[in-house]
Structure 1
Amino acid sequence: MTDLFDQIAALTRSAALSEDERAMQLGTVAALHGIDGDRVYWWAGLSRPPRRMPYEDGSAGLALLNEVLTALPLEEVVLVATDEEPAPWPMWVLGRDELIALLEALPFFEYFVASPDGRTLVFDTHHNELLIASLDPSGAVSRSD
């Protein structure tokens, strides 16, 4: 995870969230979505079934992620780099465009993206699908194909 952290740090202007900020953000997300915070795969512990959006490969996944995030009323998102490791995970607050450019520049790793208030989550899983969990009607993203 250290290599991934260093790669992300080198590619973004944003500093990683502090340990206290991470703990608060993850605590909020876990409580809102009924997730056991000790899980490695948080997407498998959602209290409500997520919207599933499969994709073929990494570039299609990034295009789909961009489409999903563009449909949400978010200027910024929180990137949580889980990379199939137990927490604590490094996290950054990024603009939507910055996030996509960052992910394009890196080899694939498992992550999820959260709205700053934690009410909407988008997981990119090792099953080549995005999982969208939202407590808001605006999180009901439809695919334009």
Structure 2
Amino acid sequence: MAHTIQRSAQTVLIVNKYPGTCKDCGTDVARRAGIAVKEDGRWQVLCAEHAGETHGLLNPWRDDHHFKDSGYTGGEYSRARSRAMVDSEYRNTDALSRPCPCGDRMWWRPTVGAPQCVSCGAIYSSHVDQATGQLVERILT
């Protein structure tokens, strides 16, 4: 059963900086492969599978987006506002990630509007065929 993180305004949730053992399943979690959450004054590690929704915390496109968007800050569009706007684009997107045929993972990329693989650039595409009502899924490379 997945760990339920009781998140509040004071909950600290970060990508794990150090390797550890998942609190839920006991698997080894490599550095930057899961999350660390501070509960009851102690840091706990959760693997990506048991982390729940992290709002793109593990998504490599999010960090790239933050870096590129920071070049457009100035005036009323401050660095803090830039980060908040980018973060809002990744809210509730963890469930949209999927395995890539190359062996890596496709993560939601708002600028593309679909999950895209960081390693090979493949994009996941889906639509409903109007004639049959079936979901048609494709990987675009």
Structure of higher RCO (CA pairs closer than 8 Å, 6+ residues apart): 1
Larger Cα Rg: Structure 1 or Structure 2? 2
Q: Which has the higher helix share?
A: 1
TM-score, reference length from structure 1:
0.23
Q: Which has the higher strand share?
A: 2
